[in-house]
Amino acid sequence: MVQKAIEHMNSGHLDVIIAFCKKFGGVENPTNAKITNMNEEGLNIKSDDVEFFVPFLQKVENNNYKDAIIKLYSSIKDDTNNDKIERSLAEFIDTFSSVIISSIKDGQAISSYAPFIKENGDFYICVSSVAKHYEAMLENPNNISIFFIQDEKDASSLFARVRASFEASAELVDDKFRNEYFAKFEATYPNESALSFIKNMQDFHIIRLTPKKGRFVKGFGAAYDTNGFKITSKGRVNNPHIKK
The pTM is what?
0.76
C-beta atoms surrounding 211 within 10 Å: 23
| Res. 240 pLDDT band, cuts 50 70 90 | low
Residue range(s) occupied by CATH 3.20.180.10 in the chain: 1-80
Instruction: Give the span between the Cα atoms of 239 and 24, in whole angstroms.
Output: 5
Smallest Cα–Cα separation from 69: which of 90, 88, 54, 89? 54
At 60-78, the pLDDT tens digits run 888 898 999 998 888 777 6
One-letter-per-residue 3-state SS of 96-145: CCEEEEEEEECCEEEEEEEECEEECCEEEEEEECCCHHHHHHHHCCCCEE
- The one-letter amino acid at 32: N
Which ranges in the chain are annotated with CATH 2.30.110.10?
83-234
Question: Alpha-carbon distance 142 to 119, whole Å?
Answer: 20
Please write the tens of the pLDDT for every residue from 206-237: 999 999 999 999 877 678 899 999 998 755 54
What's the pLDDT band for 100 if we cut at 50, 70, 90? Answer: very high
b/e map 82-98, b = 16+ CB within 10 Å:
beebbebbeebbeebee
CATH number of 1-80: 3.20.180.10
Contact 178, 206 (CB under 8 A): yes
C-alpha 222/C-alpha 36 separation (Å) is 23
Name the β-bridge partners of 205: 127
Rg, the chain, Cα only? 23
Q: What is the CATH number of domain 83-234?
A: 2.30.110.10
